[in-house]
Amino acid sequence: MKANEGSPLFRVLTGLFRFVLLPSLVVLVLMGMRPLVWAAQDKARENLPEKKARTITVADRYIDRVVNGERISYLLGNVFIDRDSLTASSDTARYYRDREVYEFIGNVVLTRDGGVLTCRHAFYRRLEGASDAQAERPPVALPGLGRAGHGR
């Protein structure tokens, strides 16, 4: 057997096995395992908890309280909130944590999808993605009708 190990044919076959057949076999095995790995990764992704939306909140002062069993955060002075697709700024805000409702008070500016709303008082219900705004209506003078559309 020792005599055959030194033969040129044995060296060619050993090199062929080492550098061609063995790496090819490893690649085939790994490629065969790829669907199994992908399935395991997909299953792991399904079990991941859903990412919470990131909120950027800025205010001069924060106060957290529990009022009648409800957790409320008071944001006082120069309030700015960037949440989901909404940005809001106001003088003061309250965040009702359990209901995920924001209440903005004073000089409110809400911006969403390029639209801008200014008012004095607004609510944003995050779970519903809805908002309500309350604005003062200035008196309107219409030509020939007087103030606020009333006849003379």
Supply the pTM of this predicted model. 0.55
Distance CA 70, CA 66 (A): 5
pLDDT score of 26: 76
- 116 is written with which tokens? 């801008």
pLDDT score of 20: 77
pLDDT score of 90: 95
Beta bridge partners of 104: 93, 122
Beta bridge partners of 116: 111
Which stretches of the chain drop beneath a pLDDT of 70?
A: 1-5, 28, 30, 33-34, 36-37, 45, 47-53, 132-152
Percent of the chain with pLDDT over 70: 69
Superfamily of domain 55-134: Lipopolysaccharide (LPS) transport protein A like domain (2.60.450.10)
Residue-wise pLDDT tens digits, 3-12: 566 788 888 8
Beta bridge partners of 31: none
